[in-house]
Homo-oligomer: A and B are copies of this chain.
Amino acid sequence: MPTQCRYCPLQRKDAFLPLSKDELSFMEKFKSGELTVEPGTPILLEGSNAPQLFTALSGMGIRDKTLENGKRQVINFVFPGDFIGLQAGVMGEMGHSVEARTHMRLCVFNRSEFYNFFKSHPERAFDITWLAAIEEHFMGEVLATIGQRTATQSVAWALVKIFERGRSLGMVTQNQMPLPYTQRDLADALGLSLVHTNKTLAALKERQLLSWSDRILQINDLEALAKEGLTSLEGRQKRPLM
């Protein structure tokens, strides 16, 4: 028996908007189970028409897509609370793949009930659209990063964003947070070569702004790093949780 939504640990994180009792019990009906996967497990495949949607409950993953020439683009990193599979749910086909990078626990929803969802709970339907808009907003920022920032600025920007995200989820302790990705993942996310990403990271480390090894990211001067990344530290606003 999966944990009931009212006991969902994400509920209590202040990164998320709280759900009403009514909404919670509705989500419990919508929830069809839980899925636990190990690192490296594919969760959704690009081009697939998946019958299930997920919310990441714990652990981290990655979204990516592959070009005809074999090159890979990382779309973004999956954190707890992320909704996975919207594209399949509404368009019938994923534009990217999702893969676990750590042990992950996922809340599973049945796609066949997705449309019902809109019918019976407009507030929740609105929240899904909200999530989609947040995603679109963020992807605009990523576009601007890959398109307009230099390698150093890009890396700084990305790590600031990741760190802020981690902080809002309570993953940061003493300026450190777990970051279970490889330099290749970051390189593919930023449209940079692995080698150049490595050298860029080394330079930032040299400047004492951060260190990232053994899957631990430590940021020593977030302000300075944000400045380097041509961004500022806005307080992250709460988002809906599915």
Contacts and interface: CB of A to CB of B under 8 A. Distances in A.
Interface of A: 65, 67-69, 71-73, 75, 86-87, 89-91, 95-96, 115, 118-119, 122-123, 125-126, 128-130, 132-137, 139-144, 146-149, 188-191, 230-232
Contacts of A68: 230-232
A75 B143 contact: yes
Contact of A129 (B75, B128, B230): B128
Given A65-B144, A148-B72, A133 B86 contact: yes
A231 to B, nearest CB: 7
A126 B137 contact: no
The residue among A73, A135, A139, A143 with the most chain B CB atoms within 10 A of its own CB is A143
B71 A148 contact: yes
Copies in the complex: 2
A40 B83 CA distance: 37
A25 B169 CA distance: 44
B148 A73 contact: yes
A109 B96 CA distance: 32
Contacts of A71: 144, 148
Contact of A125 (B69, B126, B136): B126
A71 B14 CA distance: 34
A132 B91 CA distance: 10
B90 A133 contact: yes
A108 to B, nearest CB: 19
A137 B88 CA distance: 10
A18 B87 CA distance: 21
